[in-house]
């Protein structure tokens, strides 16, 4: 078998980036990391918080590092308000950085 493409002919560059590293660098260069992480939290709300909470969530948005969550269950709202710090920690951990400073439940 004749191998026309040999590594010695086309060596891999030592400073080559993986696709993930290149994408992360691109996001940082465009200064869209914060909006990207905020979008990640919104899009993965059900995965992060669980299906029972997601089903009782009517509206969800982020403004000035504050997450606003509108729920259709008063007992759930009360329970989440009591554990606001844990919820905030969970969401920031999922985003991989301190994206949110506060969360409000309505």
Report the domain count for the chain: 1
Q: Whole-angstrom Cα distance, residue 87 to residue 90?
A: 5
Return d(Cα 56, Cα 99) in angstroms, integer: 23
User: How much is the average pLDDT of 1-27?
Assistant: 74
- At 28-75, the pLDDT tens digits run 888 898 999 999 999 999 999 999 999 999 999 999 999 999 999 999
> Half-sphere exposure of 35 toward its Cβ, with a 13 Å CA cutoff?
5
Q: Is residue 96 part of a domain?
A: yes
The pTM (predicted TM-score) of the whole model is 0.77
Residue 16 lies in a domain: no
Q: Which of 100, 105, 106, 102 is nearest to 35 (CA)?
A: 100
Residue range of the domain that includes 39? 34-105
Q: In sequence order, which ranges of 30-106 are alpha helices (DSSP H)?
A: 33-43, 45-49, 51-55, 74-82, 84-95
Q: What pLDDT band is residue 104 in, cutting at 50, 70 and 90?
A: very high
């Amino acid at each position: 078998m004749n191998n026309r493409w040999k590594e010695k002919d086309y060596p891999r560059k030592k400073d080559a980036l993986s696709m993930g590293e290149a994408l992360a660098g691109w996001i940082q260069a465009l200064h869209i990391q914060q909006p990207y992480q905020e979008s990640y939290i919104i899009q993965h709300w059900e995965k992060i918080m669980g299906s029972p909470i997601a089903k009782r969530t009517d509206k969800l948005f982020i403004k000035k590092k504050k997450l606003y969550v509108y729920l259709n269950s008063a007992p759930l709202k009360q329970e989440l308000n009591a554990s606001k710090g844990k919820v905030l920690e969970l969401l920031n951990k999922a985003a991989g950085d301190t994206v949110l400073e506060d969360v409000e439940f309505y």
